[in-house]
């Protein structure tokens, strides 16, 4: 500022300036000295703050009208209506306020509501929360319901709730998306034998008695028959969540069938497997008794030294419990492991049959006759590594534990 004033004074008193304002040298020097003194005093003087100015704020106007601020009650109402999913236009209509005013209050409400911003854009959902809960219950109660049946039930409920046909029907695609959003996936229902409450109780008792078995399972000789027939191509799909594959309400029960083409008998233990034996025609107590003496007894003696050094496992088929077969087992001192009905998940040889079938389906040329089928089965059976059978025997403690955990129901094995 001092340089600026000095410059102005020099312009006024410079000799070459206008004659009307020019001064002689003595007078100009006196004025310049006086100006320098004034400028120095300004530098030394401490600046003083101007007193605060107060003036009345004019009323806020918008479009020529005075703007009325929102009351606390209106702000709370806006927050409540936002949580209910109301749009800004609808809230403005309810409160009699412009949409812009409601938008500003909504932005403040969302910022203070735990930082959660409610997105109310887009088309409203076709199904209400109540209808979604009803749909979830329907799928939980019957996982075998088709999408068409579920859609009909939802539309019927919508019509009844509206007291007529005011609410339009929803499509099968809408219901399908809603069911998938709940965590359900359409899968082919797993097949497991039907288990009654009595069967479950027996399975639970059997597993509880053997829950501490570890090395004992290495001395069990598992056996069973398996027939290879034309498979049922029909499949049944079921709605289920992850982890519900073996839930009783999501299983498709299977029952024994008399159809058969080639039936084979086989057995294994942690030490190895027996050869496959072809069962011609219908197996009877006489033929099974001959099988025990020709294959079971020599194999157990070869692996364990004597027949009473191992447990012989067999299911409760009628030929296995026949008096003739019981007498043969008692004659040779075979120790029979007690068993329960409808319990293939506790017999690991079922997994061996599954591995045999998988290997058979991978062959480049499928058998066309029974003789070719039996020859292929024997070839693939011998190709299964011994470690596979050992791992099956070692899985028994886990199988027993799982049956106890589910209260005797079917397991994933």
Torsion sign, CA atoms 388, 208, 338, 342: negative
Instruction: Report d(CA 255, CA 212) in Å as an integer.
Output: 32
**What pLDDT does 17 receive?**
44
Residue 274, Ramachandran bin (φ over 0: left; ψ between -120 and 50: alpha; else beta) = beta
Mark whether 238 and 381 lie in a shared domain: yes
Instruction: Report d(CA 240, CA 252) in Å as an integer.
Output: 13
Tokens of 40: 């120095």
Domain assignment present for residue 324? The answer is yes
Q: Is 154 exposed, middle or buried (0-12, 13-18, 19+ CB in 10 A)?
A: buried
- The DSSP secondary structure of 182-216, one letter per residue, reads TT-EEEEPPEEE---HHHHHHHHHHHHHTTT-SGG
Residue 183, Ramachandran bin (φ over 0: left; ψ between -120 and 50: alpha; else beta) = left
**What pLDDT does 378 receive?**
92
Domain assignment present for residue 278? The answer is yes
383 close to 356: Cβ distance less than 8 angstroms: no
Tokens of 325: 């077969």
Q: Is 144 exposed, middle or buried (0-12, 13-18, 19+ CB in 10 A)?
A: middle
Domain assignment present for residue 46? The answer is no
Mark whether 177 and 271 lie in a shared domain: no
pLDDT per residue over 254-270, tens digit each?
655 545 478 899 999 99
Domain with 110, as residue range(s), is 74-117
Mark whether 219 and 360 lie in a shared domain: yes
**What pLDDT does 86 receive?**
85
Domain assignment present for residue 286? The answer is yes
Mark whether 148 and 234 lie in a shared domain: no
Whole-angstrom CA distances from 129 to 125, 174, 178, 390 are 9, 14, 11, 53
Domain assignment present for residue 68? The answer is no
Mark whether 343 and 395 lie in a shared domain: yes
Tokens of 147: 């999408």
Mark whether 9 and 98 lie in a shared domain: no
Q: Is 129 exposed, middle or buried (0-12, 13-18, 19+ CB in 10 A)?
A: exposed
Instruction: Report d(CA 314, CA 221) in Å as an integer.
Output: 9
Mark whether 101 and 139 lie in a shared domain: no
Q: Coil, strand or helix: which one is 385?
A: coil
Mark whether 98 and 225 lie in a shared domain: no
Domain assignment present for residue 228? The answer is yes
Give residue 212's Cα distance to chain centre: 33
Domain assignment present for residue 30? The answer is yes
Number of structural domains the chain divides into: 4
Mark whether 153 and 201 lie in a shared domain: no
**Of the candidates 268, 405, 262, which has an alpha carbon nearest to the alpha carbon of residue 348?**
268
End-of-domain residue from the set 163, 183, 203: 183
Mark whether 208 and 322 lie in a shared domain: yes
Residue length, the chain? 413
Q: Which phi and psi angles does 286 have, rounded to 5°?
A: -65, -45
CATH code at position 234: 3.30.420.10
**What pLDDT does 208 receive?**
93
189 close to 232: Cβ distance less than 8 angstroms: no
Q: Coil, strand or helix: which one is 264?
A: strand
Domain assignment present for residue 97? The answer is yes
Helix (H) / strand (E) element for 29: namely helix 25-44
Mark whether 228 and 343 lie in a shared domain: yes
Mark whether 222 and 366 lie in a shared domain: yes
Query: Who's near 177: CB < 8 A, 6+ residues apart?
Result: none
**What pLDDT does 130 receive?**
86
Written as tens digits, the pLDDT of the chain (413 aa) is 445 555 554 544 444 444 434 445 554 555 455 555 544 544 434 444 455 554 545 545 555 556 678 888 888 888 888 888 888 888 888 888 888 888 888 888 777 765 455 555 667 788 888 889 989 999 998 888 899 999 998 888 888 765 554 567 889 999 999 999 989 988 888 888 888 889 999 999 999 999 999 999 999 999 999 887 544 445 667 888 888 888 888 887 665 554 547 889 999 999 989 999 998 878 899 999 999 999 999 999 999 999 889 999 999 889 999 999 999 999 999 999 999 888 888 999 999 999 998 988 888 877 777 888 888 899 999 999 999 999 999 999 999 999 999 998 888 88
């Amino acid at each position: 500022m001092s340089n600026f004033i000095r410059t102005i004074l020099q312009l006024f008193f410079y000799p070459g300036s206008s004659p009307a304002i020019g001064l002689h040298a003595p007078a100009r020097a006196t004025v310049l000295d006086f100006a320098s003194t004034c400028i120095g005093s300004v530098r030394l003087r401490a600046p003083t703050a101007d007193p605060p100015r107060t003036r009345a704020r004019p009323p806020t106007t918008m479009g020529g009208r005075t703007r009325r601020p929102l009351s606390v009650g209106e702000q709370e109402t806006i927050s409540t209506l936002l949580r209910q999913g109301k749009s800004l236009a609808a809230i403005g209509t309810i409160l009699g306020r412009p949409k812009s005013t409601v938008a500003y209050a909504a932005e403040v409400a969302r910022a203070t509501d735990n930082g959660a911003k409610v997105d109310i854009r887009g088309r409203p959902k076709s199904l209400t929360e109540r209808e979604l809960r009803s749909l979830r219950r329907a799928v939980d109660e019957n996982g075998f319901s088709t999408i068409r049946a579920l859609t009909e039930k939802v539309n019927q409920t919508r019509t009844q709730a509206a007291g007529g046909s005011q609410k339009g029907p929803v499509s099968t695609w809408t219901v399908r998306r809603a069911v998938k959003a709940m965590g359900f996936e359409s899968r082919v229902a797993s097949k497991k034998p039907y288990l009654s409450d009595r069967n479950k109780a027996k399975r639970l008792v059997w597993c509880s008695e053997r829950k501490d078995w570890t090395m004992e399972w290495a001395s069990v000789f598992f056996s069973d028959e398996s027939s290879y027939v034309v498979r049922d191509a029909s499949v049944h799909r079921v709605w289920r969540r992850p982890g519900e594959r073996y839930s009783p309400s999501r299983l498709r029960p299977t029952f024994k069938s008399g159809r058969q083409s080639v039936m084979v008998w086989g057995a294994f233990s942690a030490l190895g497997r027996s050869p496959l034996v072809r069962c011609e025609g219908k197996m009877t107590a006489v033929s099974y008794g001959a099988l025990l003496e020709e294959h079971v007894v020599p194999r157990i003696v070869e692996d364990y030294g004597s027949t009473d050094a191992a447990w012989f496992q067999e299911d409760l088929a009628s030929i296995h419990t026949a008096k003739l077969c019981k007498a043969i087992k008692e004659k040779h001192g075979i120790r029979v492991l007690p068993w329960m009905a409808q319990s293939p998940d506790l017999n690991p040889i079922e997994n061996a049959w599954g591995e045999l079938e998988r290997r058979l389906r991978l062959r480049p040329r499928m058998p066309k006759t029974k003789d070719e089928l039996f020859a292929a089965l024997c070839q693939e059976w011998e190709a299964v590594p011994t470690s596979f059978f050992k791992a099956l025997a070692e899985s028994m403690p886990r199988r027993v534990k799982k049956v106890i955990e589910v209260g005797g129901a079917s397991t994933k094995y």
